[in-house]
């Protein structure tokens, strides 16, 4: 029985622990400085908005851990002694390990803006950030958010529910158009405005200004404007947290470097989740996956590897989802933000600008390679099957109703979508007949 120590109780570390327990009797210790128990980072916003309490964001009840003999330790790890295979903790204790898993997650980016460390300036990543946000937003008149990614828009939504006016600076012309194609980016941009958010496009932060009390009192932008505010939310993305191993024999790049088995260069030390940078042989850029489901899948694979079943981590087909205020988003396969050579695309948007579908396919053989959908839920199974089977656009269009995952009785847009496609492509496709609700009732 070996002692496996995992640093980080996020989705990656915890999944690793669970899967080690499923397959072995090893002694497992999970260390984290953030919270006593695993909670869902993705749900931080809902705590602030009052949809849930912190307790609700814990995916497992507290008795789960002792029942499964997973020891939890609330402590900060100061350093790793690789020779002695031991960790020194913030409270002075040391802990030895046989195998070590680094699952230390990410940290918020800061780009060296003047004033970025003033009181009232903060990012949104940890539970402590959320507590700080509560303090920082007490009785404030305006907040400025800098950086238009997924966390930025969540922060804007959060503040809006507290009736705090929000100015939202994004570098891009349209929200997230460094990832989303223009049409989709415009649809979300429009929705952000609809929520009363003062979105400033193509605008950069220059300086954060301090007031007499030493707290933030405003910012200036590269458009020459000064905006008075009492909170600055910095949300220009995250980077792997490698503080612990930066100056150790464990090799790092942007993240902790690992191979496809999530093994570092040092035997018995592994890394997974946001902090891991997976080396991609023969390519200029390695892979860093900062997502919930990739953290989970890496943990599953690593749990096996540690229990002796060496497992190649394969993410499989790309997918993701998000929610932009009231509009849900899903993506399957790859959709570039600007058209690539040889790609053709189909785009449909409804009149109310709350639903749209983008499909990318090869110009030559018409094989579908990716899709974005907003405001309609679609089945991952069905889309993955189509992408794997290399279905062409005509097949996909005809069978589109089968992918629908909206709740019963929702308005079906497929008819409209196929009509739009027929108009664009000069085809005359008919949707495969999906059984109607009443037919399904008696199926």
Ligand X SMILES: Cc1cc2nc3c(=O)[nH]c(=O)nc-3n(C[C@H](O)[C@H](O)[C@H](O)COP(=O)(O)OP(=O)(O)OC[C@H]3O[C@@H](n4cnc5c(N)ncnc54)[C@H](O)[C@@H]3O)c2cc1C
Judged by the rule CB under 6 A, the positions of this chain that interact with ligand X are: 7-13, 31-34, 41-42, 44, 76-77, 103-106, 124-125, 151, 154, 241, 244, 273-274, 290-293, 295, 322
In degrees, rounded to 5, the angle at the alpha carbon of residue 330 between the alpha carbons of residues 201 and 40 is 90
- Residue 175 contacts other proteins per CB under 8 A: no
Closest contact distance (angstroms) between CB of 113 and other proteins is 24
Do you know the residue count of the chain?
443
Closer CB to other proteins, residue 53 or residue 68? Answer: 53
Q: Which is nearer to other proteins, 46 or 395 (CB)?
A: 46
109 versus 379: smaller Cβ distance to ligand X? 109
Sign of CA dihedral 172, 174, 179, 182: negative
Q: Which two tokens stand for residue 270?
A: 């592994």
Among candidates 107, 127, 157, which has minimal Cα distance to 38? 127
With beta carbons less than 8 A apart as the criterion, state whether 373 and 379 touch: no
Size of the site for other proteins (CB under 8 A): 80
> Looking at 242-250, 268-276, 278-286, 349-357, which segment touches other proteins (CB under 8 A)?
349-357
To other proteins, the closest distance from the beta carbon of 4 in angstroms equals 18
Listed residue (305, 318, 296, 401) closest to 4, CA to CA:
305
- The 10 Å CB-count burial string (b at 16+, else e) for 77-100 is beebebeebebebeeeeebebebb
Judged by CB under 8 A, which of 24, 29, 40, 362 binds other proteins?
40
Give the position of tokens 């196929």: 418
Q: Which does 27 bind (CB under 5 to 8 A by kind): other proteins, ligand X, none?
A: none
How many alpha carbons fall within 13 Å on the CB side of residue 423? Answer: 8
Of these partners, other proteins, ligand X, none, which one is at the site of residue 112 (CB under 5 to 8 Å by kind)?
none
Q: Is 51 in the site for other proteins (CB under 8 A)?
A: yes
Q: What is the C-alpha separation between 9 and 253, in angstroms, rounded?
A: 23
Question: Would you count residue 284 as binding other proteins (CB under 8 A)?
Answer: no
From ligand X, other proteins, none, interface partner of 430 (C-beta below 5 to 8 A by class): none
* Contact present, 121 and 208 (Cβ < 8 Å): yes
State the DSSP H helix or E strand holding residue 394, giving kind and residue range, or none if neither. Answer: helix 393-403
x/- string (CB under 8 A) for other proteins, residues 355-394?
Answer: ----------------------xxxxx--x----------
Q: Of 176-205, which residues contact other proteins (CB under 8 A)?
A: 183, 186-187, 189-190, 193-199
Q: Identify whether the C-beta of residue 389 lies closer than 8 Å to the C-beta of residue 366.
A: no
Specify the residue, 148 or 295, whose C-beta has the smaller distance to ligand X: 295
323 binds other proteins (CB under 8 A): yes
> End-to-end alpha-carbon separation of the chain, Å?
53
Q: Does 94 bind other proteins (CB under 8 A)?
A: no
Pick out residues in 290-319 that bind other proteins (CB under 8 A): 292-293, 296-297, 300-301, 304, 308-314, 319
Q: Tell me which of other proteins, ligand X, none is bound by residue 273, counting a contact when its beta carbon lies within the kind-specific cut-off of 5 to 8 angstroms.
A: ligand X
| From candidates 409, 426, 428, 433, binder to other proteins by CB under 8 A | 409
33 binds, among other proteins, ligand X, none (CB under 5 to 8 A by kind): ligand X
Q: Does 276 bind other proteins (CB under 8 A)?
A: no
Report how far residue 273's alpha carbon sits from residue 105's, in angstroms, rounded to the nearest whole number.
6
**Structure-token pair, residue 2:** 């070996």
Contact 26, 303 (CB under 8 A): no
162 part of the interface to other proteins, by CB under 8 A = yes
- Which helix (H) or strand (E) element contains residue 320? strand 319-324
């Amino acid at each position: 029985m070996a002692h496996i120590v995992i640093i980080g109780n996020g989705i990656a570390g915890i999944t690793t622990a669970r899967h080690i327990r499923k397959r072995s009797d090893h002694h497992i210790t999970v260390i984290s400085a953030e919270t006593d128990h695993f909670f869902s980072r993705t749900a931080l916003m809902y705590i602030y908005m009052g949809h849930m309490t912190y307790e609700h964001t814990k995916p497992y009840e507290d008795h789960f851990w002792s029942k499964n003999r997973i020891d939890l330790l609330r402590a900060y790890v100061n350093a790793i002694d690789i020779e002695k295979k031991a960790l020194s903790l913030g409270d002075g204790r040391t802990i030895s390990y046989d195998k070590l898993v680094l699952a230390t997650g990410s940290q918020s980016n800061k780009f060296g803006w003047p004033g970025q460390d003033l009181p009232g300036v903060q990012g949104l990543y940890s539970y402590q950030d959320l507590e700080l946000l509560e303090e920082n937003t007490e009785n404030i008149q305006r907040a400025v958010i800098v950086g238009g990614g997924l966390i930025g828009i969540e922060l804007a939504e959060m503040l809006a529910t507290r009736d705090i006016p929000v100015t939202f600076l994004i570098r891009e012309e349209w929200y997230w158009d460094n990832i989303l194609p223009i049409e989709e980016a415009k649809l979300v941009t429009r929705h952000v405005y609809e929520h009363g958010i003062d979105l400033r496009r193509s605008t950069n932060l220059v300086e954060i200004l301090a007031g007499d009390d030493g707290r933030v009192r405003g910012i200036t932008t590269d458009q020459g404007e000064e905006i008075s505010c009492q909170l600055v939310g910095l949300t220009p993305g995250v980077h792997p947290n490698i503080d612990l191993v930066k100056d150790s024999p464990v090799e790092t790049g942007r993240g902790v470097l690992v191979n496809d088995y999530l093994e570092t260069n040092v035997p018995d030390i592994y890394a997974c989740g946001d902090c891991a940078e997976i080396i991609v042989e023969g390519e200029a850029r390695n892979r860093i996956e900062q997502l919930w489901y990739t953290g989970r899948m890496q943990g599953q694979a690593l749990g096996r590897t540690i229990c002796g079943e060496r497992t190649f981590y394969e993410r499989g087909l790309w997918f993701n989802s998000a929610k932009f205020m009231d509009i849900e988003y899903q993506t399957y396969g790859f959709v570039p933000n600007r058209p690539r050579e040889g790609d053709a695309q189909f785009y449909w948007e409804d009149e109310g600008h709350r639903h749209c579908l983008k499909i990318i396919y090869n110009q030559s053989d018409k094989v579908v390679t990716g899709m974005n959908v907003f405001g309609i839920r679609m089945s991952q199974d069905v889309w993955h099957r189509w992408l794997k089977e290399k279905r062409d656009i005509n097949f996909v269009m005809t069978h589109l109703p089968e992918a629908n995952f909206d709740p019963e009785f929702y308005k079906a847009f497929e008819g409209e979508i196929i009509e739009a496609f027929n108009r664009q492509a000069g085809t005359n496709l008919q949707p495969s007949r999906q059984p109607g609700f009443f037919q399904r009732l008696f199926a």
